[in-house]
Structure 1
Amino acid sequence: MPWSPEAPFNDLPPLPPDGVDLEPKPVLKATVEARTALATLSQAGQLLPNPNILIHAVPLLEAQASSEIENIVTTADELFKHVESGGGDHATKEALRYRSAIFAGVEAIRSRPLTAGTAARVCSVLQGREMDVRAVPGTRIANPATREIVYAPPEGADLIREKLTAWERFVHAEDDLDPLVRMAVAHYQFEAIHPFHDGNGRTGRVLNILMLIEAGLLRDPILYLSRAIIARKNDYYRLLRAVTAEDAWIDWILYMLEVVRESATSTTTKIGSIRICQEHIAERARAATPGGRNAQFLGVLFEQPYCRISTVAARCDVSRQTASSWLHALVAAGLLSDVKVGREILFVNHELLDVLTRPE
Structure 2
Amino acid sequence: MWNPEIPFNALPPLPPKDIDLEPRQVLKATIDARIALATLAQAGRLLPNPNILTHAVPLLEAQASSEIENIVTTADALFRHADSGGGDQATKEALRYRSALFTGVESIKNRPLTAATAAQVCSTLQGRDMTIRAVPGTRIYNPATRRIIYAPPEGADLIRGKLSDWERFVHADDDLDPLVRVALAHYQFEAIHPFHDGNGRTGRVINILMLIEAGLLHDPILYLSRAIIARKNDYYRLLRAVTADGAWIEWILYMLDAVRVSAASTTRRIDAIRVCQDDIAERARAATTGGRDARFLAVLFEQPYCRINTVADRCDVSRQTASSWLHALVGTGLLSDRKVGRELLFVNDEFLGVLTRPE
* Range class of TM-score, shorter chain: over 0.9
Deviation at 1:342, TM superposition (A): 1.8
Q: In the alignment, what sits opposite 2:193?
A: 194
Aligned to 2:66: 67
1:7-60 Cα distance to aligned partner (Å, 9 max, x none): 000000000001111101100000000000000000010000111111010000
User: Which residue number in structure 2 is paired with residue 125 of structure 1?
Assistant: 124
Deviates more, 1:280-289 or 1:321-330: 280-289
* 1:195 CA displacement: 0.2
Letter in 1 for 2:220: P
Instruction: Tell me the residue number matched to 1:100.
Output: 99
Q: Corresponding residue for 1:264?
A: 263
Over residues 103-158 of structure 1, what are the superposed CA-to-partner deviations in whole Å (9 max), with x where a residue is unaligned? 00000000000000000000000000000010000000000011010000000000
Structure 2: tracts of 5 or more residues without a match: none
For structure 1, list consecutive stretches of 5 or more residues without a partner in the other structure: none
Matches within 5 A, 1:163-242: 163-242=162-241
Per-residue CA deviations over 1:308-353 (Å, capped at 9, x if unaligned) read 0000000000000000000000111111111111221111011001
Shift of 1:358: 1.2
What amino acid is the match of 2:298? G
Deviations 1:178-220 (A, max 9, x none): 0000000000000000000000000000000000000000000
Matched with 2:320 is 321
d(CA) in 2 for partners of 1:123 and 1:330? 41
Cα distance in 2, alignment partners of residues 220 and 44 from structure 1? 13
Aligned to 1:58: 57
Q: Percent identity?
A: 81
* Residue identity matched to 1:157: A
Which amino acid is 1:265 matched to? A
Within a 5 Å distance, the mapping from 1:152-163 to structure 2 comes to 152-163=151-162
Q: What CA distance in whole angstroms lies between the structure 1 residues aligned with 2:33 and 2:242?
A: 22
Alignment match, 1:24: 23
Partner of 1:290 in structure 2? 289
The answer as to 2:350 corresponding to 1:343 is no
Amino acid in structure 2 at the alignment position of 1:122: V
315-324 or 339-348: bigger deviation: 339-348
1-structure distance, mates of 2:20, 2:47: 40
Structure 1 residue 284, shift from structure 2 partner: 1.0
Q: In 2, distance between residues paired with 1:90 and 1:348?
A: 23
Q: What is the alpha-carbon distance in structure 1 between the residues aligned to residue 353 and residue 295 of structure 2? A: 22
Task: Give the 3-state SS of the residue equivalent to 1:49 in structure 2.
Answer: coil
**How many residues in Structure 1 have an aligned counterpart in Structure 2?**
359
Structure-1 separation of matches of 2:94 and 2:330: 29
Comparing 96-105 with 340-349, which one deviates more in the overlay? 340-349
Instruction: Give the SS at the match of 2:5.
Output: coil
Distance 1:49 1:278 in 2: 9
The one-character-per-residue Cα deviations of 1:71-102 (angstroms, maximum 9, x if unpaired) are 00000000000011100000000000000000
Q: What root-mean-square deviation, in Å, do the aligned CA atoms of Structure 1 and Structure 2 show?
A: 0.5
**Partner of residue 148, structure 2:** 149
One-letter identity of the residue aligned with 1:204: G
In structure 1, the partner of 2:351 is: 352
Distance 1:37 1:359 in 2: 19
The answer for the alignment partner of 2:33 in structure 1 is 34
1:136 aligns with 2:135: yes
1:6-21 correspondence to structure 2 within 5 Å = 6-21=5-20
Local SS of the residue matching 2:338: strand
Query: Take 2:255 and 2:42, find their aligned partners in 1: how far apart are those partners?
Result: 22
Distance 2:320 2:86 in 1: 26
> Hey, which bits of structure 1, 4+ residues long, moved more than 3 A?
none
CA apart distance, 1:359: 2.4
Q: Which residue number in structure 1 is paired with residue 280 of structure 2?
A: 281
SS in 1 for 2:339: strand
Q: 1:247 maps to what in 2?
A: 246
Q: Which residue of 1 aligns with 2:4?
A: 5
Between the aligned partners of 2:192 and 2:293, the Cα distance in structure 1 is 52
Q: Distance in 2 between matches of 1:204 and 1:215?
A: 16
Letter in 1 for 2:158: L
TM-score by length of 2: 0.99
